[in-house]
Amino acid sequence: MKQTLIDKIECSDAVIGVIGLGYVGLPLVNRFLEEGFRVIGFDIDVTKIDKLDRNQGYIEHIDFKPIFEAIPEGRFEGTIDLGRSGEADALILCVPTPLSRNREPDLSYVVGSVEAVVPHLRKGQVVSLESTTYPGTTEEEMRPRVEADGLKVGEDIFLVYSPEREDPGNPDFSTRSIPKVCGGSTPACAEVGVALYQRVVDKVVPVSSTGAAEMVKILENTYRAVNIALVNELKVVADQMSLDIFEVINAAATKPFGFTPFYPGPGLGGHCIPIDPFYLTWKAREFGVNTRFIELAGEVNTAMPDYVISKISEALNDHCKPIRGSRILVLGFAYKKNVDDVRESPSVVLMERLLARGAEVGYADPHVPEIPPMRAHDLKQKALVVTPEMLTGFDCVLVATQHDAFDWEMIKTHAPVIVDARGVFSVEKGRIYRA
């Protein structure tokens, strides 16, 4: 069974099913199409399927051309019908793993997807989970469900975990060039998983188990979260000392060894860094371990929006204005520059808290023309176009995301007060404030 599946993969005869057509799933779809596979894309959002059928993209930085070319050739289909999952030889799950309101892991998308495909699983398939989660998820949540109807993992069906490593908008790395970690429930599962991913990435990094692969992803993002917390805390210290933290970091980065630069901001964004460390802290409690260092980093990072608002209050107060009633423009709604990704964007929290304090808040973002629906937020605005006249109509401009498309010189010239959370401008007493 194992060798038959591997042979199908190596000959590009395997049918690939990708569940979740978002920031992670779509790049995988493209890679498998580019290697000559037939791909079925699954998503619960019918609007995504409709757009694909009409040759319309819906994520700015992703190239939809391979998909649009494959549709008339019969090599790609998009569907909401998970009942068709039995047609695929490989099923790759790329679904969200958010936190609940109590900051506990929400595996409902993973569990729901697995339970939806279980009745259609058959011998000779490989199932791979790519969603970031805590160590143990594959064995504790997926394997019992996959084996519920009598299929034996490692013999009849193959189960692997291979964490996504997408970095939206990064021009230096692609799905193909980023090494792919892969762990299997059994050695046979690992062998199938490696064979699958070797077809679409330049380097596969096998690890000993699905738990090790899950921990790799958590480590990567916890490392980033902790280091960002460090520079966020140092930013506050530097501000009290009238020092520019960005100047300090850039100078420190000239050291050719022993230092990796991380930069502060208005809060953490994206689907990984604000969420993943809390998956680990939750799981660690099961083993009686208190992850104090990680939790402290989380406290520092989640406090950043309030720090930014305090700097806005300080800036407005210097001009004899309160936040209530002031007109505040937020520059950048996406969580990072030059993309349209708004997942966990700190701009969401900043706008909500400013509105709650009575400010009149607008936003500008060339990549996000309209705030999309979000699970836990209800902001409904369209982006403003930045002009000299528009800028002079606001009491304060907050730099939340440093998109290259912004005309920073024009903004500096015409904005009456700037609060800069991204290090775009140098501080000017009474007009440009660091946050």
Report the catalytic residues: 272
Cα–Cα distance measured from residue 429 to residue 413, given in angstroms and rounded to the nearest whole number:
15
Cα–Cα distance measured from residue 366 to residue 408, given in angstroms and rounded to the nearest whole number:
13
Calculate Rg over the CA atoms of the chain.
24
Cα–Cα distance measured from residue 98 to residue 377, given in angstroms and rounded to the nearest whole number:
14
Measure CA 434 to chain center.
26
Cα–Cα distance measured from residue 25 to residue 271, given in angstroms and rounded to the nearest whole number:
14
The DSSP H or E segment spanning 234 is helix 210-240
Contact 204, 178 (CB under 8 A): no
Cβ contacts of residue 13 below 8 Å, gap of 6+? Answer: none
Nearest in space to 145 (alpha carbons), one of 98, 104, 88, 107: 107
Cα–Cα distance measured from residue 329 to residue 419, given in angstroms and rounded to the nearest whole number:
10
Contact 389, 321 (CB under 8 A): no
State the helix-helix crossing angle for 210-240 and 292-302, rounded to 10 degrees: 50
Cβ contacts of residue 65 below 8 Å, gap of 6+? Answer: none
- Beta strands 396-399 and 15-19 are unpaired
Nearest in space to 126 (alpha carbons), one of 147, 153, 100: 153
Measure CA 353 to chain center.
23
